[in-house]
Structure 1
Amino acid sequence: MRKRPLIVLSTVAAATLLLAGCAGSPAPESSTTPEPESACALDAKAGATSDAVVVDGEGADAKVTVPADAPFADVERTVIGEGDGDEVTVGDLVSVRYQIVDAASGTVLDSSARGEDGLLPILMDTNQSSLFVAALECNPVGSQIVLALPSSVLGEGASNIVVYAEAVEELPTVATGEPVEPTPGMPKVKLDDDGAPTITIPDGDAPAETKVALLKEGDGPVVGAGDLVVVQYLGVKWSDGKEFDSSWSREATPTQFQTSGVVTGFRVALEGQKVGSQVIVTMPPKDGYGASAGHELEKESLVFVVDILATTAAPQ
């Protein structure tokens, strides 16, 4: 599925990638996709700086004030309002209200205001969404959090920043759209009780061109070109029906990437579809790994079933 690897980044050091809305990095290889963890990845504690931040109001409209003499000695996190939902953990998909603020100037570097109803979907992924993992993990849904990050953990030339964030709702990790009548000639798909698919390859020749069909039709936002998407997926080879990649085989943990960072057939399957949809795509080698000389799938036609869980427009 993926064309380019992502360098594995620590929970906090990746924060600079997320100042543009958590959508600036290429798709990870399967080995870097996070698996759910019982323990907190960072579990930052409250301190003098995070305790001193003043938040007036709520969500993207809140006014976040950082004292000029705040020490920013360490990564600190203060819960200013405790929610009553389930605890947020690595691997969860949640809708989030947030602001990321430059501590010195008070400038809002990014916020969820650009999302529908002031919310953006965030996958709790320690590789690509580490800023939000650091802020929200191990607290109940509905909690309001202040996270203070000193420039020393953000890289050369960075400023101290403060994140104000709230996980508003846990989002589904399977497609929730209405089932659609199967398309003749496409592989058959069966779902187990948890929503995990199995694919049966039909008799006949492998596809000469990429074909996409709906299995479920959602009613959420439409995936645009270059969007950051969150999906569950299963990929098998047309030649023998054997699985070669699957989020379902990694503790059923969703994965995220930009549509520009995957093979052509997978991109075509996603762009233009609605969140909540489940699609099946068949593709010849030219739209898969045919251009990757020496790749184990270079000569294989591929089949993917994909649950589209969330989409966020790429930053301008």
Structure 2
Amino acid sequence: MRRTALVTALVTASFVLTGCGGGTGLDNVEVSKGDTPKVTVEKDFETEKTQTRVVNDGGGDEVAEGDTIKINYIAVNGRTGKEFDNSYKNESPMTLTLNEKTALPGFYKGLVGKQIGSRVLVSVPSKDGASLLQSAESLGLEKDDTMVFLFDIVSKVPNEAKGKAVKAPAWAPKLSYNDKKQPAKFTTTKQTAAKMPKTRSYELIKGTGDKVKEGATVSVQYVGQKYPDGDVFDESWSTGPRQLSLAKGGVIDCWSEQLPGHTLGSRVVVACSSDDAYGKDAKKNQQPDGPLIFVVDLLDAS
């Protein structure tokens, strides 16, 4: 499954949040019933504040700041009245962490406090949406456009792996944790293999969810560093889970080959040979070179 256009365009940045306005501007927006709804917005729709209208109450848990949620959505350009993205058609729900670093302000303001299972209309002014998007023009948007979204809040996504602890193999470096009990860094032991001759993976926690399929879009927490105890070059724990496609070319080969088959809820270590990581051109492409090691929490998949 491909990533939706909107997910591709979203920026990761910090935003200053202000209060959310009322919902009266959305009264004339029409939403059809059914599992795959249609949203009708008249041309030249504008709003100065993020506004919300709950179409249907879900009755589930309330969405709180910092939660990661799975949502289906329809996105409409208020200026043209035309739909520019639709996760129902793409069969690819978006996973979104509602914090200041990873969510557009309009999403944050419109969805925090709503219930799981709800259908919610949200109008997002330029300052909370389009002006902050990367490559807004690729979506047919201008920087001062208002966007209108219909969100179905499907579920909350776990923030970390949960399941039965599994003993690591003797050759593997030891994983250490920070004061929040989150994976932080690998260190070597006397038995740690000095080289990574081939790519391999193992579990530290065995989850009880479905097996991840080849090419799936997954929501993950992870830490990546140079094997076996080098610098940490990337991690998600400080910002929240990330959504990535395991399709060939969507991630490095060791991820697309090693993560399918593991179950959701698992904490998986993937040790990558240089060839299955960023390859011989890693430095030229400004990527970490040589063998790498990742610890990946498999939280959700679609």
TM-score, scaled to structure 2: 0.68
Change (3 A) 1:128 1:66: same
Structure 1 unpaired stretches of 5+: 1-15
**Match in the other structure for 1:53:** 29
Displacement of 1:84 in angstroms is: 7.4
In structure 2, list runs of 5 or more residues that go unmatched. Answer: 131-135
Question: 2:113 and 2:67 mapped to 1: Cα distance?
Answer: 12
The CA RMSD over aligned residues, in Å, is 4.3
Partner in structure 2 of residue 12 of structure 1: none
Task: Tell me the residue number matched to 1:4.
Answer: none
AA matched with 2:121:
V
- The offset of 1:309, in angstroms, is 1.4
Shift in Å at residue 146 of structure 1? Answer: 0.9
Kindly report which structure 2 residues correspond to 1:272-291, keeping only aligned pairs within 5 A, or say none: 272-289=261-278, 290-291=280-281
| 1:52 aligned counterpart, secondary structure | coil
1:17 maps onto 2:8 in alignment: no
- For residues 261 and 120 of structure 1, the distance between their equivalents in structure 2, rounded to whole angstroms, comes to 17
Conservation of the 8 A alpha-carbon contact between 1:121 and 1:311:
no
Letter in 2 for 1:243: V
d(CA) in 2 for partners of 1:303 and 1:95? 28
Which residue number in structure 1 is paired with residue 245 of structure 2?
258
Distance 1:255 1:280 in 2: 17
Q: Does 1:223 align with 2:212?
A: yes
**Contact persistence 2:172–2:193 (CA under 8 A):** no
Q: CA deviation at 1:105?
A: 9.2
Matched length: 275
Aligned partners of 1:230 and 1:308 also within 8 Å:
yes
Residues 104-128 of structure 1 show CA distances to partners (whole Å, capped at 9, x for unaligned) of 999896355886xxx9452237898
User: Residues of 2 paired with 1:141 and 1:40: CA distance?
Assistant: 21
TM-score with structure 1 length normalisation?
0.66
C-alpha distance in structure 2 between counterparts of 1:245 and 1:157, whole Å: 29
What amino acid is the match of 2:45? Answer: F
Counterpart in the other structure of 1:304 = 294
1:14-53 deviation line (CA, Å, top 9, x unaligned): xx823xxx4x57xx9xxx6456x7x5489565343x1222
Q: Give 1:158 deviation, angstroms.
A: 4.2
Match of 1:176 in 2: 162
Alignment correspondent of 2:133: none
1:269–1:280 CA contact under 8 A, matched in 2:
no
Q: Distance in 2 between matches of 1:78 and 1:219?
A: 36
* 8 A Cα contact 1:234 1:246, kept in partner: yes
Identify the structure with bigger relative contact order (alpha carbons < 8 Å, sequence gap 6+).
1
Name the SS for the 1:208 alignment partner.
coil
Cα distance change, pair 132–228 in 1 and its aligned pair in 2 (3 A): farther
* 2:61 is equivalent to residue 73 of structure 1: no
Cα distance in 2 for residues equivalent to 1:141 and 1:309: 20
The change in CA–CA distance for 1:235 and 1:102 in structure 2 (over 3 A counts) is closer
- Give distance in 2, aligned partners of 1:186 and 1:112: 42
Q: Distance in 2 between matches of 1:42 and 1:310?
A: 31
**Higher mean C-alpha deviation, range 275-284 or range 201-210:** 201-210
Report the CA distance between 1:263 and its aligned residue. 2.3
SS at match of 1:79: strand
Contact 1:174 1:195 in 2 (8 A): no
CA distance in 2, matches of 1:41, 1:270: 40
